[in-house]
């Protein structure tokens, strides 16, 4: 049994295909979705998204956003979605460092929230990349 | 018939103009490519976001979030997105005409872009705010506009928020459009017809499916308020941002085309003027030769 998984970021449509199952990092913890899941809406937490298609499991790192589950379709709206190969570890580490430096300065609440979100995203990418390397 | 000096002067001025319009065409062409990429790449996201919210709205109670509220009143706030600079064909004129036709006395306006501000001020419209946007548009700037619109809506000052912008269809065609942002409605961005038909079909299939199971409500994790609190404002921010990018893409495309035709016209004019110039010059030479030969004949 399959349903449509659609992942979009402001830059492009990352993924749009039939999958058998998907595990989403929701704000309240990981969330497994299979065919026939009840309609659901929740926020995303930066982390790993796993979907299985044709018996194979693929993993993406996604950022903040929202997910909508309807009958027959899962729409994931996020500001970041990359595969392991696309993560440039050095660049991510640099981004992390910049964000941490920025946090040290005085800022408004909104700015702090933005920087913290970017730190979470960077960390999610790094954890994933490192885990992947240990497995190999 | 004008004399040669006049024509020479005109040729010079026309070719100067051609040079300027040609340069503007090149600049617009390079900006156009980037702006078009921005506009088209943001579309899938904007569309999915929109369809998710339309769905959500249909399946939750209106009180779930203040921004989803439908009101009886008829006071509209229109955000008009125009260009800062002119020389882009009928782009702003078409949009402003549409805005003028659809607005009534109760309508208030917020402008984004200098041309819209000037025009609406001249028409003595109820202009309540003006925002400036850099080129290419930045998300933070869109957020400011969105925040202003949402605040006004939440305060109950206006019952509807619309956005007037120019949809980017192709390099040769842009279409003025007014879409309702709040309360949430389905928004049609300039998608090519093929995918639109396909999408319409998939939507109807989905609609059948939901009918089978009955219109059950969404589950919200952790709860409706906190999910909608983050999704709805993000939606408004992003849609405004997307519309700004559409407008930018339209602007540069329109300017490129307008400047190209201006350059072509100037070159045609130069050609005509040169022809006339040569004719006059030749006529002058002939007359002179005639004078000399007649004088020689007379001496013989």
B269: domain CATH number? Answer: 1.10.287
Within this chain, do residues B275 and B176 fall inside the same structural domain, yes or no?
A: no
List pLDDT tens digits, range B68-114.
Answer: 778 877 888 999 999 998 888 889 999 999 988 888 888 889 999 89
Contact A42, A26 (CB under 8 A): yes
Within this chain, do residues B43 and B187 fall inside the same structural domain, yes or no?
A: yes
Instruction: Cite the active site residues of B.
Output: 88
Contact B56, A67 (CB under 8 A): no
Task: Indicate whether B207 pLDDT > 70.
Answer: no
Asked if the Cβ–Cβ distance from A72 to B209 is below 8 Å, we say: yes
Within this chain, do residues B251 and B263 fall inside the same structural domain, yes or no?
A: no
Within this chain, do residues B109 and B235 fall inside the same structural domain, yes or no?
A: yes
**How far away is chain A from the Cα of B48, in angstroms, using its nearest Cα?**
7
Task: Indicate whether B194 pLDDT > 60.
Answer: no
Into how many domains does chain B fold?
2
Query: How far is it, in rounded angstroms, from Cα A78 to Cα A7?
Result: 8
pTM: 0.80
Which site among A30, A39, A78 would you substitute to test the B interface, given the most B Cβ atoms closer than 10 Å to its Cβ?
Answer: A39
Within this chain, do residues B66 and B185 fall inside the same structural domain, yes or no?
A: yes
| Interchain contact A14–B (C-beta under 8 A) | no
Helix (H) or strand (E) holding A6: strand A3-8
Per-residue pLDDT of chain A (136 residues; tens, 9 = 90+): 688 898 888 877 888 888 998 999 888 888 888 888 888 888 888 888 889 888 888 888 888 888 888 888 888 888 888 877 777 777 888 888 888 887 777 677 777 777 777 888 888 887 777 777 766 6
List the domain range (segments joined by +) for residue B242.
Answer: 30-257
B199: domain CATH number? Answer: 3.40.1380.10
Q: Averaged over B162-176, what is the pLDDT? A: 90
Query: In this predicted structure, what is the pLDDT of residue B1?
Result: 53
Within this chain, do residues B62 and B134 fall inside the same structural domain, yes or no?
A: yes
**Residue B203 maps to a domain:** yes
List pLDDT tens digits, range B23-41.
Answer: 999 999 999 998 998 888 8
Asked if the Cβ–Cβ distance from B49 to A39 is below 8 Å, we say: no
Within this chain, do residues B200 and B273 fall inside the same structural domain, yes or no?
A: no
Within this chain, do residues B8 and B57 fall inside the same structural domain, yes or no?
A: no
Query: How many CB atoms neighbour CB B153 within 10 A?
Result: 22
Which ipTM score applies to this complex? 0.71
**Residue B43 maps to a domain:** yes
Average pLDDT of every residue of chain B: 83
**How far away is chain B from the Cα of A90, in angstroms, using its nearest Cα?**
26
| Interchain contact B48–A (C-beta under 8 A) | yes
| Interchain contact A40–B (C-beta under 8 A) | yes
**Residue B25 maps to a domain:** no
Within this chain, do residues B146 and B295 fall inside the same structural domain, yes or no?
A: no
CB contacts, 8 Å: B243 with chain A: none
SS3 at position A51: strand
Asked if the Cβ–Cβ distance from B45 to A41 is below 8 Å, we say: no
Within this chain, do residues B292 and B248 fall inside the same structural domain, yes or no?
A: no
Question: C-alpha distances in angstroms, B58 versus A42, A110, B180, B216?
Answer: 17, 31, 16, 11
Within this chain, do residues B295 and B247 fall inside the same structural domain, yes or no?
A: no
| Chain B: residue whose CA lies nearest to A9 | B45
């Amino acid at each position: 049994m399959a349903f449509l998984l659609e992942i979009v970021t402001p830059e492009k449509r990352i993924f749009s295909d039939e999958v058998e199952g998907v595990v989403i990092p929701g704000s309240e913890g990981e969330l497994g979705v299979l065919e026939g899941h009840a309609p659901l809406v929740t926020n995303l937490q930066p982390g790993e998204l796993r979907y299985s298609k044709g018996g194979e499991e693929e993993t993406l790192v996604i950022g903040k956003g929202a997910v909508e589950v309807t009958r027959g379709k899962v729409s994931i709206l996020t500001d970041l979605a990359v595969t392991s190969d696309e993560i440039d570890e050095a660049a991510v580490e640099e981004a992390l460092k910049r964000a941490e430096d920025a946090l040290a300065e005085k800022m408004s609440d909104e700015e702090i929230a933005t920087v913290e979100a970017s730190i979470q995203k960077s960390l999610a990418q790094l954890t994933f990349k490192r885990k992947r390397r240990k497995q190999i | 018939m004008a004399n040669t000096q006049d024509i020479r002067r005109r040729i010079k001025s026309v070719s100067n103009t051609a040079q300027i319009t040609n340069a503007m065409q090149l600049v617009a062409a390079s900006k156009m490519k980037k702006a078009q990429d921005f506009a088209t790449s943001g579309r899938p996201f904007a569309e999915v976001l929109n369809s998710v919210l339309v769905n959500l709205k249909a399946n939750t109670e209106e009180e779930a979030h203040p921004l989803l509220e439908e009101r009886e009143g008829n006071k509209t706030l229109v955000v008009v997105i125009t260009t800062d600079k002119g020389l882009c064909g009928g782009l702003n004129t078409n949009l402003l005409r549409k805005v003028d036709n659809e607005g009534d006395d109760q309508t208030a306006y917020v402008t984004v872009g200098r041309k819209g501000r000037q025009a609406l001020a001249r028409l003595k419209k109820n202009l309540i705010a003006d925002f400036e946007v850099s080129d290419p548009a930045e998300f933070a700037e869109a957020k400011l506009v969105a925040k202003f619109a949402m605040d006004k809506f939440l305060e109950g000052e206006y019952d509807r928020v619309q956005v007037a912008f120019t949809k980017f269809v192709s390099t040769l065609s842009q279409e003025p459009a007014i879409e309702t942002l709040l309360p949430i409605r389905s928004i049609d961005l300039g998608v090519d017809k093929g995918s639109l038909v396909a999408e319409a079909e998939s939507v109807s299939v989905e609609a059948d499916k939901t009918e089978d199971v009955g219109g059950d409500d969404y589950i919200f994790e952790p709860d409706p308020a906190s999910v909608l609190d983050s999704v709805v404002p993000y939606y408004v921010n992003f849609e405004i941002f997307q519309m700004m990018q559409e407008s930018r893409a339209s602007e540069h495309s329109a300017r490129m085309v307008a400047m190209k035709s201006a350059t072509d016209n100037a070159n045609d004019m130069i050609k005509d003027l040169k022809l006339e110039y040569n004719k006059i010059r030749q006529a002058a030479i002939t007359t002179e030769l005639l004078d000399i030969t007649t004088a020689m004949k007379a001496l013989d």
